Structure 1
Amino acid sequence: MRWGSLKAICVGVPAVIDIGTGKIISAPLYGNWKDLNLKEILESEFNIPVYIENDVNLSALGEKHYGEGKNFKDFIFVEISNGIGAGIIIDNHLFRGSIGSAGEIGFTIINIENLGFKVKNKGFLEKFASVESIKKKAIREIR
């Protein structure tokens, strides 16, 4: 593909995005990205329309249009990687919530008293169930 034939750019970011402006509102995994207007930067560089969206929301849309979600009007796509997030499809449409953070389930506070063991980092689901936290726990157990 030649750059001249490129019509638009879409970027999936592990963050809460202001969809109207393309500005990153919150990026816990990339703290220095907060308030970064990625849309503005890329549009000025490439001079074509740029769309910025949460990465897991894009995965949910991909499943809705091309994957296992094709036959469902409502579903939740959950991704567990460095963080934990969800893309929510309701009545065939992506649901972002009032501030764009509807799928940020990694920050759900869980009841740690019922885990059956003591923990240092109390609270967020992501502290216990992300790939990074599971990897750290496995390394501790091996040693």
Structure 2
Amino acid sequence: MYEKILIANDGSEGGTRALAYAIKLAHRLKAHLHMICVEELPRLPTTIDEVVEDKLDENHRFEPVIAQAQFQARSAHVKIETHVVAGHAVPTIIDFVERGRFDLLVVGYMGHSALYNRLIGSTTDRLVELAPCHVLVIK
């Protein structure tokens, strides 16, 4: 069914739930599991130093997320490949899915207010709309 699964994990509660489900699914299906964490860079940086500083902060932010993912996967006898990629979440994840030819994208749902979703939209909604593969949203 699914041979190559990508879990997008930002370290949030929703991302953590999605990771746990993706590990179980990969184990059951004997699928290859990858995890992507996107280092959000500033939309309009003022200097290159600001970009470098933000990148260093993001690198440290994802260390515990990656360590936890590797621990959970190892405990479930699942191999996981982790990737930390700089960019803006939606286009970066979509590009990664396309280049990696993933069968399934697993994402966590983080509820926002109805007003926020109407004005801004959610990352999850945009991934569901744009992903070139099946998307599983974990609540």
TM-score normalised to the size of structure 1? 0.27
Larger C-alpha radius of gyration, 1 or 2? 1
Structure (1/2) with the larger helix percentage: 2
The structure showing larger relative contact order (alpha-carbon pairs under 8 Å, at least 6 residues apart) is 2
